[in-house]
Amino acid sequence: MSRVCELTGKKAMVGNNVSHALNRTKRKFDANLIKKRFYIAEEDKWIVLKIATSTLKNINKLGLTAVLKDAREKGFYKK
């Protein structure tokens, strides 16, 4: 499985390491992903999602059902 958030689609970005002498070398900025287990009361089941920590903050703020609904509309979550 690739390192992509299942609800927002966040993934790795590419940038540069910049030294004190301003030498630039390519580097990769990975998304801050965690595996988290959630309980969906409406469907009476547990799901395991690989999500970004910023997505977890949105879930805490808006609620799991609202975030899942938004992810389905955008085409990221198809379960």
5, 12 Cβ separation under 8 angstroms: no
DSSP state of 37: E
Q: Where are the domains of the chain?
A: 13-74
Q: Which residues contact 44 (CB under 8 A, 6 or more apart)?
A: none
Q: What is the CATH number of domain 13-74?
A: 2.30.170.40
The label of the residue with tokens 């009361």 reads 41
**Average pLDDT of the residues in 30-43:** 95
| Alpha-helix residue ranges (DSSP H) falling in 10-63 | 53-62
Q: What is the pTM of this model?
A: 0.84
Whether 1 shows a pLDDT value over 90: the answer reads no
| pLDDT averaged over every residue in the chain | 95
Q: Model confidence over 47-74: pLDDT tens digits?
A: 999 999 999 999 999 999 999 999 999 9
